[in-house]
Structure 1
């Protein structure tokens, strides 16, 4: 019996010493958590989108232009061939209206997060303003009207515009997902009724010039419900542009051209400017528009 008690006591002592020794052994450390960095937004990448807004003339004048011409100019048909005639252009419509279209471009941001951004953008716009600006209010000649085949120009008319577009550089600064930028570059456009009034017709005169402006753009998260095309971001922008298109018509400043090709200038001694301004004018206007872009590339 005593031997059994001694054996039990010895076993308990060994077990106690073993557990204490095991407690002193180094434990296996748990693996550290995996660090997943949060992506820093960058404006670098290609983008494409669409826009809509309003354009309005910056040098409009509603005052009519009235021009008188002698019969010897060959503009008016008259039995006697001596009676003078008068043309009046109403100039009644401002060079303004709806604009809308699309754009594509590329941005490069030097430092992700906040930093300078440079880019280039091209856009094409439909424009609907100024179509009827140079219509005749009246045309009179004793005993007759305008000789068929004669083109009569408004010497101080503003052009209509059917479309325009730009190719511009952009320079801005990004505050994370907000981009403030300035922009400027080449502009082009064409439209009906450019710088003259025709009784029954119009003309398409292609013009070139420049555009300058600026805007603010904000990038929504990638998982925005507006991200239909699975792009890296959807951006909204508000932009203002000033567009100036040089007059691209070789007959600018002329009063009329008859069927034989003879050009009658407003400075001709047979032409009298009763009211209005005998000067050519550029097609210049401002555009305010909002747009949405789909950005493709890095986050």
Structure 2
């Protein structure tokens, strides 16, 4: 029995230094550190520029052309949901000319704009949204017969609905792409000279892009 105990003690004594050496040889590694994630908060006021193209699918007159202007808005974010209000106004050059009983009639939209609400879903620096609200255009009709030409301008009001996507590409700068359908009520032109011309509903499809500057710095560092 004593011999067995003595042999066991010898084996333990020989194994202990080897185990200690193994432990000392293991390299020291630090625990992984989670990277800092940039979380974009969309809340705040912004200004920007916007421009694009507009066209009609009407059966008679089909105005089309471009526009460029400015944008102002404000966003509120709660969780991933973003609510906002936005207004824009633009100089426009969308027109078409038709002939009616030998008279050349040109319809031209000189300006357009909207005042809309927005609601969207934010995925960090990208916002997907729907939008809708009030729309207007300033339109001018010119009738020409030979050397005689008369013109009249009217303000058309209506509504708009659409959707878009906006993304930050720098701490306070974002770019957006947007489609809007605009439905404007008809108006009566030339009533003051006894030759009234009543238009039907003006329907515009517009595709626009914009760049916005957001005040207040929308990035929040999250560990």
Fold shared per TM-score above 0.5: yes
1:130-169 CA distance string (max 9 Å, x none): 1x52455725xxxxxxxxxxxxxx9xx8842110110000
Q: Is the 8 A contact 1:44 1:298 kept in 2?
A: no
1:40: Cα distance to partner?
Answer: 2.5
Cα distance, 1:258–1:235 mapped onto 2, change above 3 Å: closer
| Alpha-carbon distance in structure 2 between the residues aligned to 1:287 and 1:124 | 13
Question: For structure 2, which runs of at least 5 residues remain unmatched after alignment?
Answer: 1-34, 219-223
Partner of 1:125: 90
Partner of 2:186: 247
Q: Which has the larger Rg?
A: 1
Q: Which one of 99, 124, 133 corresponds to residue 67 of structure 2?
A: 99
Partner of 1:219: 168
| Alpha-carbon distance in structure 1 between the residues aligned to 2:77 and 2:37 | 18
| Alpha-carbon distance in structure 1 between the residues aligned to 2:42 and 2:136 | 28
5 Å matches for 1:10-89?
40-61=39-60
| Alpha-carbon distance in structure 2 between the residues aligned to 1:37 and 1:264 | 67
C-alpha RMSD of matched pairs (Å): 2.9
Question: For structure 1, which runs of at least 5 residues remain unmatched after alignment?
Answer: 1-35, 62-90, 140-153, 223-232, 266-278
| Alpha-carbon distance in structure 1 between the residues aligned to 2:196 and 2:119 | 47
Q: How many residues align?
A: 182
Between Structure 1 and Structure 2, the one with more strand by share is 2
Q: Which one of 105, 126, 129 corresponds to residue 181 of structure 1?
A: 129
| Runs (4+) off by over 2 Å | 36-40, 134-139, 157-160, 196-199, 256-259
Q: Is the 8 A contact 1:247 1:281 kept in 2?
A: yes
Partner of 1:271: none
1:234-272 CA distance string (max 9 Å, x none): 0010100011111232x5xxxx8695x4x579xxxxxxx
Q: Is the 8 A contact 2:187 2:200 kept in 1?
A: no
Q: TM-score, normalised by structure 2?
A: 0.72
Q: TM-score, normalised by structure 1?
A: 0.55
